Amino acid sequence: MYIQVTNNGTQFHLTNGRLSYIFHVMKNGQLGHLYYGKALRGREDFSRLQAYHVQTGNSTQLDDDSAFSIESFRQEIPSYGKGDFRSPAISLRMPDGSHVTNFVYKNYEIKEGKPSLPDLPAAYANNKDASTLQIRLVEKRLKLELVLNYTVFHDLPVITRSVSLDNRGLDRIFIERLMSASVDFPEKDFEMVHLAGAWARECHIKTRQLQSGIQSIGSARGASSHHYNPFLALKRFNTTEHTGEVYGFNLVYSGNFLAQAEIDHYDNTRILLGINPFRFEWRLEPDECFHSPEAVMVYSEEGMNGMSQAFHDLYREHLIPKHWQKEIRPILINNWEATYFDFNEEKLLAIAEKAKDVGIELFVLDDGWFGSRNDDTTSLGDWKVNKNKLPKGLKHLAEGVRLRGLKFGLWFEPEMISPKSNLYESHPEWAIKTPGEHPTLSRNQRVLDFTQDEVVQFIYEQMAQIIRETELSYIKWDMNRYITEAYSSGLEADCQDEFYHRYILGVYKLYDRLTKEFPSVLFESCAGGGGRVDPGLLYFAPQVWISDNTDAVERLKIQYGTSMVYPIYSMGSHVSAVPNHQTLRHTPLSMRGDVALFGTFGYELDPGELTAAEQKVIEGQIQKYKQHRALIRDGDFYRLINPFETNETAWMIVSKDKHEALIGFYQVRAMPNWRRQQNVRLAGLERDWEYVVDGQCFYGDELMTIGLPLPEEFNGVNGATAKRSGDYQSHIFYLQLKGKQN
């Protein structure tokens, strides 16, 4: 029984043997939270878990019970105004200007599987994989109904939660906040982990001990952002990558979000996750319903890797488009760093031809193929071929690429408009702008008002036509600036704070339409690199260009951090030329390949400029990737050595049956004579099985306890035996169960 209802239908226990999540109907009819964590045996009554004693100074909500105070109780969907002074999960404004609400329990329903969320991306599951509990609460005075949706996955330590508000009254109301997840923990001793960064430095791991008061991350940029990912975890002080408890939270949403931890005066910790209440308000008319995005909650007893693996499994099996779950993603070459805006058909076909020779499968034409775009100052919105550069047209180019044996893909930036464009001349009103304000440019461009259906429709028509005409196999969907002067002429004055949410719903609408109509087109999302790395977009685009930074050393941190939540097979990872265009660093081709191997592989360089020796290396890299790509797609990923802490990085991916594994080891600076013998301690293997690696045999327990010996490093005198030397070293090990070798 994944959902246990006890105590005369007042207690709810979601469990799957890996976690328990328990709440109940309190004496005042509201929902109280009781427990979230390690799986507990079911019992009739858990209400003793509610702290129930008189506390000086507290408000009491029941006149005849001085111990009843929501100020000290943990709650399921806290609201403001009746004695709980912490940040609420729900806040409404009524027509008379009042804010107090009292949502009480009405009934529940259990459904096998998982209902979808209208207009929003969300995890999906069939009846055998998940069970859903829907709790209906009612605000009797205001005639509002609130539904809390909980899905517990049967084989994953995961619960998803979303909230819907239904206006059954006669008056319009305003939603000021409706958080997707709200969890109260009866303790404060946690570290908060989140991912922070900037353009070209995305997803760096940040950890800090929780302190009394509020600590939060979020975005008000119109996108989930390079700066903070919609992810937050609480871990115990002694939790490591491999052991200990951690609670992970991730929002399936690509717009403004808030993720917050608050320690109150009784040392309870409240987690809130949802749409950022800043610049958000939603007018809800009678008979309308508002749905919050979905929050994913993971509980792991197996450290940070356990948490990450649960996210990875959920996203691979229950979030990305079904079509792409098992489909092989092509190894691509993207012309951006090879040519930037300076190309013609001949140059592109020469790249495609060389790319084919080394085994690449898809050619992607990046920015500059449309309108009259020769730099980043013009033409966004004019999705028609740039006749000056490609006089024979896109179809001709696409056929030329296919003739050379590669698939063809294109870059779009659908949400943008250049002030210098035909689109702007005919529809200046489609560019977002606050009346009377000078519009702020970023990368010389403005943002289209995707809250308006006709704008989305217009862009859809242009894209669909090109997809058909060129028989596209792939689209890189970029988004290179954040939103300023947010305002829509299509919205009434008291609905302007709906702008950001409606904008992202418009983005989802276009994605939904295109992916449904063209299911075999592979979408890769991008936002100047990692400006929208979130599960909301993974639902449509199974891979994402996680950073414009292609430097192998920087990528170690970016990929390591991104793997905290997102599967490695969703991370676009390309080998580029040196000196690297973002850092001017020279790293060996071998290291660039060894880093990119742990992702969806590709190249971002001109193969015509490679020496014969480099071409050979690349051929080898491509063969290696093809050999291991099913493992990279389906295996369990483990972070082993942390680049934020040391000069080294190591990670590995192990097949689910534990028969094979691929290990990546990287050392940024040479460190001769640093240690007598260097080992990398592996994880995820079968202790008693014997494995073969580079001709040597080891038992799983040896590899996980002592480690895999690294090749000897040059130390000035051991030239005859040393196997590695210099800065920017890397080594890939492939390990197989003994007797299973090809």
- With respect to ligand GLA, which residue has the nearer C-beta, 75 or 335? 335
**Interacting positions 411-430 with ligand GLA (CB under 6 A):** 411
| Shortest reach from residue 412's CB to ligand GLA, in Å | 10
| Shortest reach from residue 369's CB to ligand GLA, in Å | 11
- With respect to ligand GLA, which residue has the nearer C-beta, 480 or 730? 480
* Residue of the chain from 184, 313, 497, 548 that contacts ligand GLA (CB under 6 A): 548
Q: Report strand pairing: 173-185 vs 282-284.
A: antiparallel
- Give the separation between CA 726 and CA 335, rounded to whole angstroms: 31
| Shortest reach from residue 476's CB to ligand GLA, in Å | 6
Beta bridge partners of 154: none
For residue 316, give the amino acid letter: R
- With respect to ligand GLA, which residue has the nearer C-beta, 297 or 527? 527
Do the Cβ atoms of 179 and 89 come closer than 8 Å?
A: yes
Do the Cβ atoms of 373 and 385 come closer than 8 Å?
A: no
- Is-catalytic flag, 478? yes
Residue count of the chain, please give it: 742
**Interacting positions 317-376 with ligand GLA (CB under 6 A):** 336, 366-367
| Shortest reach from residue 376's CB to ligand GLA, in Å | 6
Do the Cβ atoms of 376 and 329 come closer than 8 Å?
A: no
* Binding residue count for ligand GLA, defined by CB under 6 A: 11
Find all residues with CB under 8 Å of 54, minimum gap 6, and list them: 66, 67
Using a CB cutoff of 8 Å and minimum separation of 24, what contacts does 16-22 make? 16/152, 16/153, 16/154, 16/155, 16/156, 16/157, 18/156, 18/157, 18/299, 18/301, 19/157, 19/159, 19/299, 21/150, 21/152, 21/159, 21/297, 22/46, 22/49
Q: Which region among 72-80, 189-197, 349-357, 521-529 touches ligand GLA (by CB under 6 A)?
A: 521-529
| Shortest reach from residue 478's CB to ligand GLA, in Å | 5
| Shortest reach from residue 524's CB to ligand GLA, in Å | 10
- With respect to ligand GLA, which residue has the nearer C-beta, 495 or 521? 521
- Is-catalytic flag, 129? no
| Residue of 478, 497, 534, 594 marked catalytic | 478
Indicate the burial class of 670 (C-beta count within 10 angstroms; 0-12, 13-18, 19 or more): middle
Among 603, 598, 617, 742, residue whose Cα is nearest residue 665: 598
- Give the separation between CA 178 and CA 461, rounded to whole angstroms: 34
- Give the separation between CA 179 and CA 635, rounded to whole angstroms: 33
Among 194, 202, 187, residue whose Cα is nearest residue 248: 194
Report the chain's terminal Cα–Cα distance, integer Å. 44
| Residue of 313, 497, 548, 551 marked catalytic | 548
| Shortest reach from residue 366's CB to ligand GLA, in Å | 5
**Interacting positions 522-541 with ligand GLA (CB under 6 A):** 526, 528-529
- Give the separation between CA 410 and CA 334, rounded to whole angstroms: 9
- With respect to ligand GLA, which residue has the nearer C-beta, 430 or 477? 477
- With respect to ligand GLA, which residue has the nearer C-beta, 19 or 223? 223
Copy the structure tokens of residue 248.
């992970």
| Shortest reach from residue 602's CB to ligand GLA, in Å | 11
- With respect to ligand GLA, which residue has the nearer C-beta, 450 or 545? 545
* Residue of the chain from 58, 254, 378, 480 that contacts ligand GLA (CB under 6 A): 480
- With respect to ligand GLA, which residue has the nearer C-beta, 230 or 528? 528
Do the Cβ atoms of 122 and 116 come closer than 8 Å?
A: yes
| Shortest reach from residue 451's CB to ligand GLA, in Å | 24
Find all residues with CB under 8 Å of 220, minimum gap 6, and list them: 256, 276, 278, 279
Strand residue runs (E) in 264-406? 269-275, 282-284, 289-291, 294-300, 332-334, 362-365
Using rule CB under 6 A, residue 550 touches ligand GLA: no
- With respect to ligand GLA, which residue has the nearer C-beta, 162 or 547? 547
Of all residues in the shown chain, the one whose CB is closest to ligand GLA is 367
Q: Catalytic site residues?
A: 478, 548
Question: In the complex, which residues of this chain contact ligand GLA (CB under 6 A)?
Answer: 336, 366-367, 411, 478, 480, 526, 528-529, 545, 548
